[in-house]
């Protein structure tokens, strides 16, 4: 098979991928190899118009943006099968494996197959049917760099892909790669905003013998912004193909009780449809079924399904388990080295965080048994030595004012000997010092409250409660402070609203005085939305409606007197737009409509008669033109409709659509 013939057959096979993907963006008409790489993966991405560069949150990040693989915390599998146009199929398998330290790894395989492709030889003579099968194998990686020197929480991802194309026994392959970056904001109104950049399908191209074709390289920039408590998500992408024109994509997703999601999308520069896409998703944290519907006009409709499964423990759960195991091993090592009390304290701290950890529970039981044994007379000296050591260490910490460390040492003594008087005394002194600190915070808060600095007072009371949650006076005073702050905020909001309403009243009065009643009504309605009972705004709306109605009723009557029915009807409709319940205007519009319809019927009858004259003169084209106009004016003109059907049948049989140009229409006698 010659190189030219291979390229011709290859272009025919790639047509099916181009229809599904976004190749309408390209200027060159679809000459790239690997165009099937532009077929979107996953029902969610398709339903949201392909605007997923920053919005992807599952294993399909292998397709959309490898940097967002970093957001996955469970192992995940996605399966997708799409039956496309004219016997073409697109199948996808993706798998992601997150780790605790080195990021998330992913692998995938997708295949595009077209059967029964017409083959041609070098002389353009049809040959046997061919099969085209294109596949791409992907290895991906994504990681979050929390301590990046440039941007915090910067995500980086890379894909390495192996592309293979088979057509009629010939094949070619190439390596290509993707680079993705993304970043999520966590401050004020920007919280949750994601921005992303992807360089997709980078490589040298693919070669069939001596014929080489470039890859569908593209640069994508996108954003995703959650709103309404993350129930509504809005995304947008700008896509610039290497050999094409810039296109825009937008997506919207509304989540209902985390049970299902409604989706809508728009794909810019889509020559095969109006660009709108639709879809829905079902499932929760473990399973996910996504569906997308894409209309393609005369080519039909495309239905996309994808099914995803998450399984295994999250990377955070694994990290916590490893951390607990590490502390357990340290506590067990302390016990093995004879540091019984230290081991006991460490084990108890572990159980405060992870009470489910059975090895630690067993260790605590073992230590408590050992402590009981140490209380025997044969071990009293050893117990006393341990108590003396903890007491000496606690005293040193206390003298350095390291009260937290000192408290631990004295508590260790009480674990061995609960009635130890010195340890109890020092614990009381430490608690007293803590109480003095809390009392100081409370007094600072009271001074700030008295001086009117309520924000600082609130801060001091909250600090006091953080140290001692049982401080009743601080809690009561915090409640009063919050009430004062709330009243201040409400008063400020009321003043702001009053100032705003005064400005809007001035605007409305100015518009009304200039005769711009419609705009004045709109401003008065703004005020009423803020204050539905505002009498002045209600009166203003009523006055403007009355003035507006009088003006347009006068114009309508004048137009009627001059016989300009459509102009009169338009003026009456203006009246109804402002006063929808105006019965007189409705009656006038109905009367004008009846007059117009009556006039159109008369004109339709006249056009039918004129067409009949031309029909008798064998000028079928002119007769057909007049009868079409008659039907357009009056669809109920049965005679014109039947005559048009007869003339259509006659011209279909004879192939003659008109008489000689010199023919004169015959007159009806």
Pair 256, 262: CB distance under 8 Å: yes
Confidence of residue 272 (pLDDT cuts 50, 70, 90): low
Pair 24, 272: CB distance under 8 Å: yes
Tokens of 133: 């099968």
Between CA 626 and CA 628, with CA 627 as vertex, the angle to 5 degrees is 90
Selection from 28-32, 391-395, 549-553 with the highest mean pLDDT: 391-395
Is residue 618 left, alpha or beta, with left meaning phi > 0 and alpha meaning psi from -120 to 50?
A: left
Asked whether residue 655 carries a pLDDT value surpassing 60, the answer given is no
Q: Measured on CA atoms in the order 620, 625, 628, 634, is the torsion positive or negative?
A: negative
Asked whether residue 668 carries a pLDDT value surpassing 60, the answer given is no
Over residues 159-168, the pLDDT tens digits come to 999 999 887 6
Residues 6+ apart with CB under 8 A from 449: 457, 477, 480, 481
Which residues sit opposite 92 in a β-bridge? 80, 110
Cβ-in-10-Å burial (0-12, 13-18, 19+) of 63 comes to: buried
pLDDT at 377: 57
Map residue 26 onto helix, strand or coil.
Answer: strand
Asked whether residue 654 carries a pLDDT value surpassing 50, the answer given is yes
Over residues 483-509, the pLDDT tens digits come to 999 998 999 988 998 899 889 888 988
Over residues 146-190, the pLDDT tens digits come to 665 566 778 999 999 999 988 767 788 889 999 999 988 766 556
Pair 92, 112: CB distance under 8 Å: no
For residues 496 and 249, what is the distance between their CA atoms, to the nearest angstrom?
39
Over residues 84-101, the pLDDT tens digits come to 766 678 889 999 999 878
pLDDT at 364: 87
Pick from 114, 115, 67, 64: nearest CA to 94: 64
For residues 119 and 12, what is the distance between their CA atoms, to the nearest angstrom?
9
For residues 394 and 318, what is the distance between their CA atoms, to the nearest angstrom?
36
pLDDT at 239: 93
* pTM: predicted TM-score of the whole model, two decimal places: 0.47
Phi, psi dihedral angles at 97 (to 5 degrees): -135, 100
For residues 620 and 196, what is the distance between their CA atoms, to the nearest angstrom?
64
Residue 590 Cα to chain centre, angstroms:
47
How long is the chain? Answer: 669
- Running DSSP on this structure, what letter comes out for residue 618? T
pLDDT at 15: 41
The angle, 0 to 180 degrees and rounded to 10, between the axes of the packed helices 565-578 and 517-530 is 20
More confident residue, 10 or 449: 449
For residues 542 and 455, what is the distance between their CA atoms, to the nearest angstrom?
46
Asked whether residue 115 carries a pLDDT value surpassing 80, the answer given is no
Residues 6+ apart with CB under 8 A from 382: 374
Which residues sit opposite 261 in a β-bridge? 255, 281
For residues 274 and 572, what is the distance between their CA atoms, to the nearest angstrom?
36
Residue ranges of the alpha helices (H) in 114-208? Answer: none
């Amino acid at each position: 098979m010659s190189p030219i013939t291979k390229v011709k057959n290859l272009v025919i096979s790639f047509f099916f991928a181009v229809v599904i993907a976004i190749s309408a963006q390209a200027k060159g008409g679809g000459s790239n190899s690997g165009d099937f790489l532009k077929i979107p993966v996953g029902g969610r991405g398709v339903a949201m118009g392909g605007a997923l560069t920053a919005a992807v949150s599952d294993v399909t990040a292998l397709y959309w943006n490898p940097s967002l693989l970093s957001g996955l915390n469970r192992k995940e599998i996605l399966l997708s099968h799409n039956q496309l146009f004219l016997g073409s199929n697109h199948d996808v398998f993706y798998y992601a494996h997150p780790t605790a330290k080195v990021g998330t790894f992913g692998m995938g395989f997708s295949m595009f197959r077209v059967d029964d492709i017409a083959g041609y030889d070098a002389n353009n003579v049809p040959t046997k049917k061919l099969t085209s099968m294109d596949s791409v194998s992907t290895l991906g990686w994504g990681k979050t760099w929390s301590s990046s020197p440039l941007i915090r929480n910067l995500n980086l991802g890379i894909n390495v892909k192996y592309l293979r194309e088979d057509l009629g026994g010939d094949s070619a392959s190439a390596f290509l790669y993707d680079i993705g970056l993304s970043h999520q904001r966590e401050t004020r109104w920007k919280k949750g905003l994601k921005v992303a950049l992807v360089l997709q399908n980078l490589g040298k191209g693919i070669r069939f013998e001596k014929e080489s074709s470039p890859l569908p390289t593209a640069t994508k920039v996108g954003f995703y912004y959650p709103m309404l408590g993350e129930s509504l998500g809005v995304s947008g992408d700008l896509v610039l193909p290497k050999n094409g024109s810039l296109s825009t994509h937008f997506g919207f997703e509304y989540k209902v009780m985390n049970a299902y999601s409604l989706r809508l999308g728009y794909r810019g520069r889509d020559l095969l449809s109006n660009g709108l896409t639709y879809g829905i998703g079902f499932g929760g944290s473990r399973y996910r079924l996504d569906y997308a519907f894409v209309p393609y006009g005369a080519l039909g409709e495309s239905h996309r399904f994808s099914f995803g499964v998450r399984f295994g423990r999250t990377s955070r759960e694994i990290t916590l388990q490893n951390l607990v195991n590490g502390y357990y091993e340290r506590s067990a090592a302390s016990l093995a080295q004879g540091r019984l009390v230290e081991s006991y304290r460490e084990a108890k701290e572990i159980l405060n965080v992870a009470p489910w950890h059975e090895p630690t529970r067993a260790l605590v039981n073992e230590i408590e048994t050992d402590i009981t044994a140490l209380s025997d007379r044969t071990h009293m000296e050893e117990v006393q030595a341990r108590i003396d050591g903890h007491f000496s260490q606690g005293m040193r910490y206390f003298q350095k004012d390291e009260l937290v460390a000192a408290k631990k040492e004295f508590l260790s003594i009480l674990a061995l000997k609960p009635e130890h008087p010195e340890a109890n005394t020092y614990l009381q002194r430490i608690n007293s010092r803590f109480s003095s600190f809390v009392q100081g915070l409370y007094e600072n808060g009271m001074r700030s409250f008295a001086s009117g600095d309520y924000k600082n007072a609130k801060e001091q009371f909250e600090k006091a409660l953080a140290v001692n949650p049982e401080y009743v006076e601080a809690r009561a005073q915090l409640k009063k402070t919050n009430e004062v702050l709330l009243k201040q905020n409400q008063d400020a909001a009321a003043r702001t609203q009053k100032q705003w309403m005064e400005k809007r009243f001035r605007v409305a009065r100015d518009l009304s005085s200039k005769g711009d009643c419609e705009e004045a009504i709109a401003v008065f309605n703004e005020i009423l939305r803020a204050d539905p009972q505002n009498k002045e705004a209600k009166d203003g709306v009523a006055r403007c409606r009355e003035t507006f109605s009088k003006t347009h009723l006068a114009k309508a009557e004048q137009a009627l007197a001059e016989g300009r029915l459509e102009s009169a009807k338009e003026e009456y409709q203006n009246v109804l737009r402002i006063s929808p319940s105006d019965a007189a205007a409705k009656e006038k519009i109905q009367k004008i409509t009846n007059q117009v319809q009556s006039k159109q019927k008369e004109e339709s009858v006249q056009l039918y008669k004129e067409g009949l004259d031309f029909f008798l003169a064998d000028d079928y084209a002119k007769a057909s033109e007049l009868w079409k106009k008659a039907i357009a004016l009056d669809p109920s003109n049965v005679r014109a409709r039947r005559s048009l059907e007869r003339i259509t049948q006659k011209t279909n049989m004879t192939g003659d659509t008109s008489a000689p140009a010199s023919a004169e229409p015959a007159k009806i006698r």
